[in-house]
Every structure is written in C-alpha cells, then in structure tokens.
Structure 1
C-alpha cells in the first residue's frame, strides 16, 4: 500500500441512533488518493484475512477512475433494525421518505419478528417488505416464518449454508437472496448457487471493490441488489457508484443505512426514494478518535496490506 495514502489517514467514530446488530458506535478509517476519499471499515472483530478485500476496495476507490455509470440516482430501501417498540419503529420508518420497500431485520424471536413486520406494514401499507435473517434459521424455522409472514418480496440469507438454501427453495416461492454465503466464502467464484439463490446481495467493501464485484455478477449471472455494511457517507457513496455501474438493477438498494447514524462525515439525502452519487467531501469535526484508536486502525491497515 502506498505510503501517500497512509499519510492522509483519518479515523472517525460515528454514533448510531439505535443499537444495530450490537453496534452503538461505528469506527471508520478514511484515506484520500488521486480519485478521492475512500473508506476501510471492516467490523472490529474481523481478523486481518477477512479485512483484506475491504482494504482492496478502499485502495481501488482512492486510486482508480470511476466506472461507466448507467444512472446517477439509485433507488433505495429503508432498513429497520431488530427493534420492538412501536414508537421507536415509527421513528426509524420516518427516516426513509419516499422509499417503496423496507428491509426488516428478523431471526431472534418469531412473535416479535411478525409484530415488527406488521408495524411497518401499518405505517407504509404500499411498501414491499423484505426480511434479513443473517443465516440464523434452520430450513424448518424459515419455512414456518414464511408461512406466517404474509407477502414478502424476498428473504435474505435465511439459512447459513448453500445446502439449506437449496432445500428451502424447494419449499417456497419467495425469492431467496444470498449475502453471507457470497461475501464470507473463501472463493465466491467457486460457489454453486444453482437452485439455492435467486438474487445476489452485493456489498462493495467485503467483496473487494467494484471491478471484482462485476466479475462476480458476470460469473453467477443472477439479479442483484447492492447494499451497505453500515458505512459512513464515503463508503455509501462508493456503494452508490457500484449500483450506478450495474446496467440492470431491478430492486431498490440497501444504501440508506447512513440514516441510522446520528452523526456522519457527510449527508447523503433521500429524494423521492432515491439517493444521488455525489463524491462527498468529509467533515471530520468532532468525530475523530483518540490517538490510541488511530494507531490501532493504522496498524490494522498495515497488517492487512501485507496480505494483498
């Protein structure tokens, strides 16, 4: 990794509006290259090897020209964390004006999951409902949920393995989306997703950047949705660039998760259910971490760079 990139390193801590999969403070490393600011933000518990594609993506974003874009505005969905209070859910729904679909986190308690879905439906009756399970269920549990949940646009990673997804697909007509199955694979090109997955969930950092993600799209030849990994506005904008560079994009993308942060380095608004690609300039005021945390991230980047 070029020293000139490290010389621009800034690290920020972004508080969330609500607990999101156990996260209340999102630490993010940013650095700048010839083509703008880039983000490196693997979650704190990730080992260096799992961080490698995230760093490859950040280096690509900083040092490579942007791809050809088929659109400059990207349709997005709302994202509802695993909340159970009606008032709190209402506040989150209101963060996403004009969106036509909501992705709802489920998988911990069936009764609470169904109540959460019903609450969103009551607030936005015309919006499609998607659910994200993060691989938590058995085939039987996923089947039981789908029999109780009403109309679902798609179910994201209901079970952990390809074999389980293939078995579930035999039991349901609901579209199945593969997320962790792809981005946590040792070799995502070696996966046989035939009869297991209908749609690919694409997150640009964990998949190693836009060029590699396009190679995966061309390899698997499935419809796609672009989503985020709870990134800052810098990472989100690069996800928007990925979405803009995909010729056929049938579904709204999960790129509005910045609205779950109470502070960010830039503001990317939703207008009429869409977000614009904008190459934002970050504002670091009041967000930078301690010297100790900065060194932790710098060392993490240097260790990870040795694996590329």
Structure 2
C-alpha cells in the first residue's frame, strides 16, 4: 500500500511543542525503574517520542518519524473497533508473578520476560510455570528473550519451557542468521515452539530479511521504531507473515498509536503487547490506557491522545540537564529525517 509522506515540521516547531517527562515504573523493566519520554503537541493531537536512551541517532530518527506522523499527519483508517491485549510479566521472581498479573483485569494471554542478566534457566522455568498456574490451562503464554540466547542455549531453554505450553518465543537469539538456524534446530530436536522476530525487524537496516531467510514464523512490530503506522503496514504486507503489534514501554500516548496500528492491520490473529501501561506507576493522562476486559478500543485510544494532563507534564518534568539532553537529541534526530 502506498505511503503518503507527512511533511516534516520545522525543528523550532518541535522544540516549542516538546515536554520531557520521567515516569516511575511499578517494577524494574528492561533494567530501568523510570521511563523517560518526550511528548509533542501537534495539530492532529499529542504524540510521543521515546527511543530508549541507548539508541543511536539513526534509530531515534525513525521514532521521530512516527511521532511526526501521529502529531502532524493522517493515520491510516482502522478496520476493527478494538484489539485484544496480553499481560506482560517482567523478569520477577516466581512468587511475585501473581501480584503482577493481578494488575490485568482479563488475562487470556501473557508475555513473560526470560533470559534476564543475572538469572538462570531455572528462574525462567519457575516464572513461566507460575504464570501457567495463575492463568490456567487455556491461557496463551509467550516468552521474550530480547535476543539474549545463543542458538544452543535457546534450544535448551525452549525444550525446558515447551512443556508449559508456549504460543511462541520472541527474539530468542540476536541475529537473523541465528534465528534461521534456531528454527531448524528446534525442528530437528522436536521442540514445537514458533519463533517470532522483534528486534530483527524493528532495529534492522533491512526489516524484511527475516522473511526472506525463513528466520521467523511471525513478526512483532512496533509503530514507533519502524517510523510510523503507514511504514509498519508496508513492512507487514511485504513480509507476508502473521504480525503481533507490541509497545516499547510507552506512555498512554504511545500506546494509543500502537492500538491504531493493530486496528489497521488487514488480519490480526494474536493478542497485542499493548498492556504495558499497567507497568507504569504514573502516566501523562488522568485515565491511563490500560486494557478493559482484555482489550483496548480505537475510540478510547483516540480520546487518550487528546487527554494529556498538564499537571502530569509539570509533576514529572525532568531536570534541566536531562531536558537539555533530550532537546539536543531531538535536534540531531530531526536533521536525519
């Protein structure tokens, strides 16, 4: 499907519209206890620009393209009114799993973080087993290793986790070549766990390589890292693989963009990873975009983008040095658009 480019606002417009916040998390996630984000007010509504702080300027520029599309462009129309959402379980100890899952009102699908630095396979197995115990036999459980395993480690880990019943394993290895080798190794070992590619799509120079090399059974896509909804839809169409829409520990504004992407997909077979608002202790809106009845609606997502709370922007504004860091980063990313 053709993409209509969104005119890029002048840098001065973006800087004038920028608000940088740091939001506390309920639990440690991806090694952090706070999530920094830059919010932009555009003529089409609020947008979020929040590439993780370790990302290079080239990655950050793609995220900025998504924010510009959200705040200054026209989003593709939805084809469904709402989407199903999974619960997310960080790499907590098994006794903490039930408390994490209690934050979600409907829990038919859960994504469980595994392969955390400083932990071992026994910790992962215990955590995933506890998720199964809490959610019951009918729930779908997916695991996410964020590329931390070697091929051999992934085969060993997934063989140990497969008896719990896995929907798929997300980014078990770091490279496309490793993912392709893993799929073959799992088949030879008789381990029936589909492989999903995440970082190998959203952080790749060539996001379609995983499809060409048969390295994944499905793709996990995030609107912001791919440059926006229109670009993400193009990549999904060209890949020809089932897609799961996920988030990047977004504020409710960023999650709303994820809902719009999921709602615009021609086919959506899996619950989406858009429930991470439950991991934030505070948000930029008075009524955070968290799932109700296991799902999120387009109407609620669109309303959320109009409901940023000025008091929250003021309360969670970063200090002068961090704000200057984000504004300098915005200047560099804008130059790459």
Query: What TM-score comes out, normalization by structure 1 length?
Result: 0.96
User: What's the counterpart of residue 142 of structure 1?
Assistant: 154
Partner of 1:129: 141
- Which segments of 5 or more consecutive residues in structure 2 lack a partner in the other structure? 1-8
Equivalent in the alignment of 2:64: 55
Out of 273, 276, 289, the position equivalent to 1:257 is 276
Report what 2:297 is aligned to. Answer: 276
CA distance in 2, matches of 1:162, 1:110: 23
Q: Identify the match of residue 32 of structure 1 among 41, 63, 77.
A: 41
Residues 16-72 of structure 1 show CA distances to partners (whole Å, capped at 9, x for unaligned) of 001101111101001111110000001112221221100011011111122110122
- Which has a greater percent of helix? 2
Kept in 1: contact 2:94–2:123 (CA 8 A): no
Are 2:188 and 1:177 aligned? no
Instruction: State which of 264, 287, 295 in structure 1 corresponds to 2:324.
Output: 295
Counterpart check, 1:101 vs 2:101: no
Contact 2:211 2:241 (C-alpha < 8 Å) held by counterparts:
no
Instruction: Check conservation: 1:202, 1:225, Cα contact below 8 A.
Output: yes
Give, in angstroms, the shift of residue 193 of structure 1: 3.9
Whether contact under 8 Å (1:169, 1:176) holds in the other structure is yes
Q: Which range moved further: 233-242 or 5-14?
A: 5-14
8 Å CA contact 1:97–1:270 kept in 2: the answer is: yes
Q: Are 2:147 and 1:152 aligned? A: no
Question: Number of residues paired by the alignment?
Answer: 307
| Secondary structure, counterpart of 1:188 in structure 2 | coil
CA contact (8 A) 1:99 1:274 kept: no
Q: Which segments of 5 or more consecutive residues in structure 1 lack a partner in the other structure?
A: none
- Give the Cα–Cα distance (whole angstroms) in 2 for the partners of residues 48 and 208 of structure 1: 13
Equivalent position of 2:83 in the other structure: 74
CA–CA distance in structure 1, aligned partners of residues 134 and 212 of structure 2: 35
Tell me if the contact between 2:75 and 2:229 (Cα under 8 Å) persists in the aligned partners.
no
Partners of 2:30 and 2:133 in 1: how far apart?
24
Q: Indicate which of 111, 125, 149 corresponds to 1:114.
A: 125
Partner SS state of residue 204, structure 2: coil
Contact map agreement 2:94 2:130 (CA 8 A) in 1: no
Distance in structure 2 (CA, Å) of the matches to 1:28 and 1:176: 30
CA shift at 1:213, angstroms?
0.6
